[in-house]
Amino acid sequence: DGSFITEVHIVAETGRKGKEGELVHATFWANELNDFNTGFNMLTGFCGKRAFFLGPMRSFSCGNLVIQTKHSSATFTTPEW
């Protein structure tokens, strides 16, 4: 019936001008979504060595990177984007 994106992987460095930052690894897992298109661990990752898990309507900051989840989506924001 078609193909859909089932996972998205993001790798970013949170450094500021001239300073080294932490490495962020984040994955959005479509298979974590339930019949209502929400999931408690739909976005997982690491900020440096610290693990994080995001469900719907949550946010997480790592250095200058902000990750925000909505009902069934995620937005990654940095000062450069």
What pLDDT is recorded for position 6? 78
DSSP letter string, the chain: ------EEEEEEE---TTS---EEEEEEEGGG--TTS--TTSEEEEETTEEEEE-TT-EEEETTEEEEE-SS-EEEE-TT-
Stated pTM of the model:
0.81
Q: Which residue has the higher pLDDT, 44 or 73?
A: 44
Question: pLDDT of 4-47, one tens digit each?
Answer: 777 889 998 887 666 678 899 999 998 888 888 888 899 999 99
What pLDDT is recorded for position 3? 62
